[in-house]
Homo-oligomer: A and B are copies of this chain.
Amino acid sequence: MSDTRLPRRNGLPTPAPTLLVLDAEPLPRLGRLTGRARVVHTDAAGLAGRLPSADVVLVWDFTSPAVREAWPGEGPRPRWVHTASAGVDHVMCPELAASGTVVTNARGIFEQPVAEYVAALVLAIAKDLPRTLDLQRERTWRHRETRRLAGTRACVVGSGPVGRAIARKLKALDVTTALVGRVPRTGIHGPADLDRLMARADWVIAAAPLTGQTYGMFDARRFGVMLPSAHFVNVGRGALVVEDALIEALSRRWIAGAALDVFAAEPLPPDSPLWGVPGLLVSPHLAGDTVGRLDELGAQFVELFERWSVGRSLVNVVDKKRGYVPGH
C-alpha cells in the first residue's frame, strides 16, 4: 500500500497532486477538490501525452480503452488509477498489472441496481411481458398462462459484489440460486461445478469480470448444456459471450431466450444481427445506471482522493492479477 501514499511535508501533501480526468459529458463534480489537486481534463487523444505527469488518473469515461492503450511501459507514471465502473478490463494491461500503480473501482455503487435489473429481466420473461406489449400495440386481448418465478433455479456466474447482490435478490424472489466463482468457498461453487449447474438452471446469469479466464466462456458448448426452456442473461461484460454462438443457440432453440445488456462492441452498431434475433432482448449497457449514480460516483472518488491525499490506505483496491476487487 505504500504506493498509494503521497510525498508529504509538514503533514500535508506537496505540491498539490495532478489529477488527470479522462472524461466526456457529463463531467464529474470535483468542486470539493479545489486547491487540493491540479485537475486536468483530457479526452482519449490527449491522454498519452499527459499520463507521465499525472499523479492520479480518474477514468470517468469508462467506455474508453484509452488508459490501457496509452499506459507507459517505462518512465514516470501515475501512482493511482480509479475507474468509475465495477469492471476494470478497459484499463488493465500487462504493464499496468506489473507496475506499482494502484487501481481502484466503484464497488458499492452498481451492485443493487444491477441486481434489480436482473430481477426485472427474469420477471419480465417469466410473465411474458414483451409479448403483452406487442399485443397491446395490436389492440389484441390474448390471455395466456405465464410462469411462476418462485421455485425456478438460477445459476449466477461471478461471485464478486455484483454476482452476490444478484444472488441475494433472486433468493428474495424465492428463486433457488447457485453462485459460481473462480475458486470454491463457502456458499460459492468453483468452475468445476459450472456445467452441471448450468445444465439444470432455468436462468443462467453472467456477472463475471472480464479476465483471461472468463473471455468467451459462454460458447457453443456451454449453451449446448443448458435446458431448452432456459434463458441466458449477461450483465457482466460482452466478451464473456461468443455472440455468434448465442445467436446460433437461440435460432436452433437450444435455449428459450436471452437478454444482453453488454456487448463485445458498444454501442452495438445498427447493423448488428443481435438487434433482431427472436427471443433476444437487447439493452444499452444500463443495468447499473440509476438516477443519482453520477453524484454517487463523484462523491466516492472524492472520498477516496481525500483518504489518499492524507496518506490513508485506499479501499476498493483491485487485485490486478485477478482483474477485480477480491471478495469478502
Contacts and interface: CB of A to CB of B under 8 A. Distances in A.
Interface of A: 112-113, 116-117, 119-120, 123-124, 126-127, 129-130, 132-133, 135-136, 139-150, 169, 172-173, 266-268, 270, 272, 275-276, 281-286, 289-291, 293
A-B residue pairs, 9 tightest by C-beta? A120-B123, A141-B267, A172-B172, A120-B127, A139-B275, A141-B284, A139-B270, A136-B282, A143-B284
Specify how many copies of this chain sit in the oligomer.
2
Contacts of A282: 132, 136
Contacts of A291: 145-148
A143 B275 CA distance: 15
Contacts of A172: 172-173
B286 A150 contact: no
B136 A127 contact: no
A285 B145 CA distance: 10
Contact of A113 (B120, B133, B148): B148
Nearest to A261: B132
A255 B275 CA distance: 32
23 contacts: A112-B148, A116-B149, A117-B146, A119-B119, A119-B123, A120-B124, A123-B124, A124-B124, A132-B284, A132-B286, A133-B281, A135-B284, A136-B281, A136-B283, A139-B275, A143-B284, A143-B285, A143-B289, A145-B286, A145-B291, A172-B172, A172-B173, A173-B173
A145 B143 CA distance: 33
Nearest to A128: B286
Nearest to A282: B136
Given A143-B284, A145-B290, A146-B286, 9 more contacts: A116-B123, A120-B120, A123-B124, A132-B282, A132-B283, A136-B275, A144-B289, A145-B293, A148-B291
A169 B286 CA distance: 24
Given A116-B148, A290-B146, A129 B124 contact: yes
Contacts of A124: 120, 123-124, 129
Contacts of A136: 275, 281-283
A270 B135 CA distance: 11
Contacts of A113: 146, 148
Contacts of A140: 270
A283 B173 CA distance: 22
B123 A281 contact: no
